[in-house]
Each structure stands twice: as C-alpha cells, then as structure tokens.
C-alpha cells in the first residue's frame, strides 16, 4: 500500500513550487530520517507525523529537533502514547497540533469520538484538530464547532481515479463546500458576548415592561388593577412590579403610558 500511495521524491520540489504559487503551505509526511533530511533541503515550514508513526519516538525526536511546528495525528494512540510523543516534541519547544483521528478507511461516525479532541486540548494545552477519514464533511464541520484549529481531509480530482485513498477522498466541489461550511461555522462561533447583538437591538422593544392600564391620578396608589406587565418594552423592567405596587403615583398618568421612575419614584 505504501508503495502505491507514497508521493515520489522527484515530484516534491515541483509540488512545493506550485503550492507556493497558489499561496498554499507545502507539507509532506516523512516516514524515516532520510525523508526528514530530504524535506529539510526543501525548507518545509512544518512537519506532519502520521498516526502509524505515533509510536516511532526516534523519528518524532528527529523531526522535533528541526525546531519547526509539528502536526501529530493520534489515531489508535493511547493517552500514554500520545503523552510520550508530545513530551518528546516539547523538549525542543516546538508548536504542536494534535489531530484526533480514527485510523479506519473510511471512518464511521460512531467511532470518531470528537470529544477526545476537546479533552486533548485541555490535557496537553496545545492546538487541536481532526484528521478526518469519514465520508462527507459533517465530522470536519462539527470538529470546527468544537474548537478544531486544523482539519486534514483527503482530496482527489476524481474518485473514479483509483488509488488507496480515493474511496474516502473529497472531490474539488465537495472540498470547496466543506471549506465554505467551516468558514460559516467559524463566524457563527464568534466570541463570548452577552447582551443584544446589533441585529437584535430593534427587537428589544418586543420585551415586556410596566404600563398603566388605567388612568391614574397623582397621589393614587399603584396597584395590580392599574399597572400591568405587558408589551412593548418602553417602561420599567417587570422585576420592579413588586417594588412599586402600593406606592403613590408622583403625577397624573394616562392609560397606556409606560411606567417610569419619574412616575413611580424607582430606578429601573
């Protein structure tokens, strides 16, 4: 399988040049030290370690010694195996991205366990993402909603061109649709924010507030008969109803007037 699936060495420089023309960062996954040396000569900006190499600590150590960011897939990895790999990389103070991965082809949703990605972010204190071998884009989009910083997805020009990855790879339009959906989710996640959003401000008027439902003379008591909680939201907040009941109106109030502190003598 590796013989069929690997990218020939003599393609890589040309691929890197094409990627850079398109504004894409070039990555290539090494499987031994000679591959690392080859990629160093190409001046790659970061390294990706495949799930099956998670336990190859000598390789990970050699990659980490190049002092570049390391993206580490964690398929099949126990917590202890992941920690050993992370500790190895951290000796060199590299940036680390841990990718949750189900090393099945294709992966099924029942075994993706995306919550593990969130747990890894908390336990290891690093960026996380998803190496997604499932069909479609739902897993990737969900992962972004849960905090993924990186998505790895297999890509092909056409699934009709047979190779070891084609059956679970995305065709160009599918990939573009996934990226679009991810960008929408990123915007929807937004930031921690309480209070009315800009689009909601016009709806504030549809809240309830305190209104006079009968004519009230100055000095007359405010009661449940002449003050009610109704819409719109121009008056005092409903929480003040109990505080103003039994108080004397400070001025004449016409039916349908919102109750204000000038009328009831209360802040709000």
pLDDT at 106 over 80: no
* Same domain as 168, residue 38: yes
The pair of three-digit structure tokens given for residue 237, joined into one six-digit string: 């907040």
Number of domains in the chain: 2
> Is the alpha carbon torsion for 178, 183, 188, 193 positive or negative?
positive
Structural domain ending residue among the three candidates 189, 215, 247: 189
* Same domain as 146, residue 89: yes
User: Rounded to an integer, what distance in angstroms lies between the CA atom of residue 67 and that of residue 12?
Assistant: 21
* Same domain as 238, residue 161: no
pLDDT (0 to 100) of residue 217: 97
The pair of three-digit structure tokens given for residue 89, joined into one six-digit string: 């990389």
* Same domain as 251, residue 178: no
* Same domain as 142, residue 207: no
Spatial CA neighbour of 151 closest among 171, 127, 167, 122 = 127
Q: Are strands 150-153 and 209-212 parallel, antiparallel or unpaired?
A: unpaired
pLDDT tens track for 8-56 = 999 999 999 999 999 999 999 999 999 999 999 999 999 999 999 999 9
pLDDT, greater one: 167 or 248: 248
> Helix, strand, or coil here: 212?
strand
* Same domain as 128, residue 26: yes
pLDDT at 268 over 60: no
Mean pLDDT, residues 242-258 taken together: 96
pTM attached to this predicted model:
0.83
Residue 177: CB atoms within 10 A of its CB come to 14
* Same domain as 171, residue 42: yes
32-68 burial string, b = 16+ CB within 10 Å, else e? Answer: eeebbebbeeeebebbbbbbebbebeebbebbbebeb
Structural domain ending residue among the three candidates 165, 189, 213: 189
- Domain containing 37 equals 2-189
* Same domain as 223, residue 183: no
pLDDT tens track for 148-200 = 999 999 999 998 887 777 788 999 999 999 999 999 999 999 999 999 999 99
Mean pLDDT, residues 205-220 taken together: 97
pLDDT tens track for 227-246 = 999 999 999 999 999 999 99
Confidence band (pLDDT; 50, 70, 90) for 108? confident
Mean pLDDT, residues 61-81 taken together: 97
Structural domain ending residue among the three candidates 162, 189, 216: 189
* Same domain as 175, residue 244: no
Phi, psi of 59 (to 5 degrees): -65, -45
Mean pLDDT, residues 129-145 taken together: 94
> Is the alpha carbon torsion for 113, 49, 98, 57 positive or negative?
positive
Q: What is the CATH number of the domain that holds 238?
A: 3.90.1210.10
* Same domain as 181, residue 48: yes
Q: What is the CATH number of the domain that holds 40?
A: 3.20.20.70
* Same domain as 154, residue 52: yes
* Same domain as 211, residue 147: no
């Amino acid at each position: 399988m590796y013989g069929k699936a690997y990218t020939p060495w003599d393609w890589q420089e040309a691929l890197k040049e094409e990627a850079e023309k398109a504004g894409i960062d070039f990555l290539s996954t090494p499987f031994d030290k000679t591959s690392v040396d080859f990629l160093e000569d190409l001046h790659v900006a970061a390294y990706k370690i495949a799930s099956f190499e998670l336990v190859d600590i000598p390789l990970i150590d050699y990659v980490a010694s190049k002092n570049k960011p390391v993206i580490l897939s964690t398929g099949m990895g126990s917590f202890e195996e992941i920690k050993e790999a992370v500790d190895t990389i951290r000796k060199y103070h590299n940036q680390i991205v841990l990718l949750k991965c189900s090393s099945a082809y294709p992966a099924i949703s029942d075994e993706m366990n995306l919550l593990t990605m969130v747990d890894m972010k908390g336990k290891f204190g690093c960026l996380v993402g998803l190496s997604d071998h499932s069909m479609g884009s739902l897993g990737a989009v969900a992962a972004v909603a849960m905090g993924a910083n990186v998505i790895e997805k297999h890509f092909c020009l056409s699934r009709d061109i047979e190779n070891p990855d084609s059956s679970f790879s995305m065709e160009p339009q599918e990939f573009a649709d996934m990226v679009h959906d991810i960008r929408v989710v990123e915007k929807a996640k937004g930031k921690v924010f309480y209070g009315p959003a800009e689009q909601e401000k016009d709806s504030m008027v549809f809240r309830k507030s305190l209104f006079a439902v009968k004519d009230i003379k100055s000095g007359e008591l405010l009661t449940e008969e002449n003050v009610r909680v109704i819409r719109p939201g121009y008056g005092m907040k409903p929480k003040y109803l109990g505080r103003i009941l039994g108080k004397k109106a400070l001025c004449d109030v016409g039916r349908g007037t919102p109750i204000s502190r000038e009328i009831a003598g209360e802040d709000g």
